[in-house]
Structure 1
Amino acid sequence: MISISKPVWGLLTVIGFVLTVHLLAPILMPFLLAAVFAYMGDPIADRLEARGMARTTAVVTVFVALTIVTALLLLVTVPLLIEQVQLLIERIYDGIAWVQHTGLPALRQYFDLPEQKKPMEAAKDALSENWESAGGILFYLWGKVSGSSMAVLTWIANVTLVPVVTFYLLRDWDVLMAAIRNLLPRSIEARTVIIAKQCDDILGAFARGQLLVMLALAVVYTIGLWIVGLELALVLGLLAGLASIVPYLGVIVGISAAGLAAFFQFDSLWPMVGVAAVFGLGQALESMVLTPMLVGDKIGLHPVVVIFAILAGGQLFGFVGILLALPVAAVVKVMINHLHDYYKDSEFYDEKHSMAASDDVE
């Protein structure tokens, strides 16, 4: 019988896990979203349970509260977002008109270029033709997708599965964790629990803290742009807040989009200065108040590592990879820290042992 060492078994397990995620990626989305929601709601359910509430009652309370909050947010924001998107489309047309009647004539006059006959009309005609073609393709694809009863049923099943799986995972979260712990080999159970606890600290700090930071930044940006008088304050504030999951991306996207919107809406440069002040204030609050208070120093993931992890996850596994990128990066960081400690304690690193070995050779 062939004997396989423990490191080989570990490597085979990791390879098998990666292959499984890759093969099952199309159906994993509702389960991943449910696991994220359950992971975030478990501490709240634990606190309610510690106060004497039954586990099922605590889970139902948390589940109903999250559902009510989500429904209220959708009822408030969706109509406003629809209105803002319509306004955004109008502003895009205004921008095209400005380029045609003001921007291009000014450039021709500045660079002394020859007059051309209605270049924007030709561009708009070409865009309209391509848009009709693209719209026809999209309409054809939508007809194929909507005509397939299996595709529609799959989509409905995925949407329905998220709250159902979230409820059951949240109710049995502690039981699942205990079962996984009991399955571990006794020789590695203690160290694995320590590593898992460290990973949980990092993931919990990032997931809960970063979501709160994103929400706070979205509120700050929206209110600030509203004070400046920007008509697209809500949609641009939410966009900048969501983009803040990647370090500095929220500020770059937000100040670029809001600055462009202010340029076309106002005739003065002062609103653009106000936009810059809003995002400068938001960045200062994030770095000096929000991140230290809500996230703290537990994460330890460098911004470059965060960006690389998200891009690599998206490249390898699509949107599922983006969801798994930061948790995997946090786990890898913990593993590397333990490997570093193991290396520092090893005979290979020990200077005294190396000197003793060299003396024996002499």
Structure 2
Amino acid sequence: MQFTTTQKHVAAWTGIAALAVLVLWLLGPVLTPFAVAGVFAYALTPLVDRLDAMGNGRMPRVLAVLIVELVFLLAVLALMLLVVPVLVKEIPLLRQQLPVLLDHTQSTLGPWLAQFGIHVNLDLSTVREQLKTYLNENWSDSFASLWSSFKIGGSFAMALVGNAMLIPVALFYLLMDWKNVVARVLELVPPRARRAVDAFTGEADEVLGQYLRGQLLVMVTMAVFYSVGLALFGLDLALPIGVFTGLAMFVPYVGFGIGLVLALLAGLLEFASIKALVMVGVVYGAGQVFESLYLTPRMVGERIGLHPLAVIFALLAFGQLLGFVGVLVALPASAVLLVAIRRVRAGYLASALYKG
């Protein structure tokens, strides 16, 4: 059976793509910091170029890169420091309120559970004695489990610290050489396909720019929403928790989850009543519905041409395949895939195969 030149090219490129996907899957943990740095470099390169242009060539590019990266790292640090006032206030309250919360839970749930033959005692002294007895009787098993958890947690912590140090370094070099990196990749494109590839990358770049602007609007809007919502319930730490939750949403689900836990903890310690659960349920429930079903599909999905269901599917699919990195790059990657699908569809509709 003879294959045409076109069929051979298609088979070769399919094999290359399959091999690239396999390598990415196998090296996923190693590539994580570089992938994250690449996403940030793509977003920050226009700022570096603009700052470089403002200097009319008198400002070295390395200085422009240092300024942009320093501002970016300070912004990330400021976002993380929003959690500090929460912890500073809540840790002492936790020590004071924990016995009160346990007593309140005991007096509320105890009689109700007793009706079903379940007797629960949440007295601190009793809990402490039971824990001591359990550890004495199961010391070896507990120590082995604790040591195993420490090794796992230590490995994770070391990986986290290593990535935190590697990402800024990779980001610096990518910002310095972004144009050269892109140019070297495009050099691999055959000359006869260069015009089509340039048109594709230009359209993809425009779509990704719209995505970044839309995502920024979503983050600011949700920061205001959560801050106002928590403040209406009278939470003292409404502003830092609300702002953190909104701005941390650049990583879908993760930022929302951390903000929800912080709000629940702060509400339980401040109100010590069912009001905390109602507050979190109303504010974060309404916020998740508003953001997932309306705000992100409208401000992000419509800007890049993705249907609301496609946005939700992209987040779930990329998260399942690539974990944290998948969630981070889900919508940008979907935008690029959408451009490719549009071009394939247009080519098919214009082909003799479709026209019959």
> What's the TM-score once normalised by structure 2's chain length?
0.73
Q: Quick check: 1:60 aligned with 2:69?
A: no
Q: Distance in 1 between matches of 2:347 and 2:303?
A: 21
Q: One-letter code of the match for 1:327?
A: P
Aligned match of 1:162: 167
Aligned match of 1:86: 91
Q: One-letter code of the match for 1:341?
A: A
Q: Distance in 1 between matches of 2:292 and 2:283?
A: 14
Aligned match of 2:106: 100
Mark the CA change 1:85 to 1:214 in structure 2 (over 3 Å): closer, same or farther. Answer: farther
Contact 1:228 1:275 in 2 (8 A): no
Q: Equivalences for 1:294-309 in 2 at 5 Å? A: 295=300, 297-309=302-314
Q: Distance in 2 between matches of 1:33 and 1:313?
A: 14
Q: One-letter code of the match for 2:26?
A: L
Mark the CA change 1:142 to 1:190 in structure 2 (over 3 Å): closer, same or farther. Answer: same
Q: Equivalences for 1:226-305 in 2 at 5 Å? A: 226-231=231-236, 233=238, 234-235=240-241, 238-239=244-245, 242=248, 246=252, 261=267, 265=271, 272=278, 276=282, 295=300, 297-305=302-310
Please report how far the alpha carbon of residue 79 of structure 1 lies from its aligned counterpart in structure 2 after TM superposition.
2.0
Q: State the identity as a percent.
A: 28
Q: Equivalences for 1:1-362 in 2 at 5 Å? A: 5-51=8-54, 52-53=56-57, 54=59, 55-74=61-80, 76-83=81-88, 86=91, 96-106=102-112, 113=115, 116-118=118-120, 137-143=145-151, 152=158, 156-231=161-236, 233=238, 234-235=240-241, 238-239=244-245, 242=248, 246=252, 261=267, 265=271, 272=278, 276=282, 295=300, 297-350=302-355, 354=356
Q: One-letter code of the match for 1:63?
A: E
Q: Secondary structure at the match of 2:170?
A: helix
Mark the CA change 1:244 to 1:226 in structure 2 (over 3 Å): closer, same or farther. Answer: farther
Q: Distance in 1 between matches of 2:274 and 2:311?
A: 38
Q: Distance in 2 between matches of 1:329 and 1:316?
A: 14
Deviations 1:166-224 (A, max 9, x none): 11111111222222222211222222222222222222322343145224422441244
Contact 1:81 1:235 in 2 (8 A): yes
Contact 2:226 2:284 in 1 (8 A): yes
Deviates more, 1:227-236 or 1:44-53: 227-236
Q: Distance in 1 between matches of 2:284 and 2:320?
A: 34
Structure 2: stretches of 5+ with no match in the other structure: none
Mark the CA change 1:329 to 1:87 in structure 2 (over 3 Å): closer, same or farther. Answer: farther
Q: Distance in 1 between matches of 2:16 and 2:41?
A: 25
Aligned match of 1:359: none
Contact 1:217 1:286 in 2 (8 A): no
Contact 2:235 2:270 in 1 (8 A): no
Contact 1:84 1:235 in 2 (8 A): no
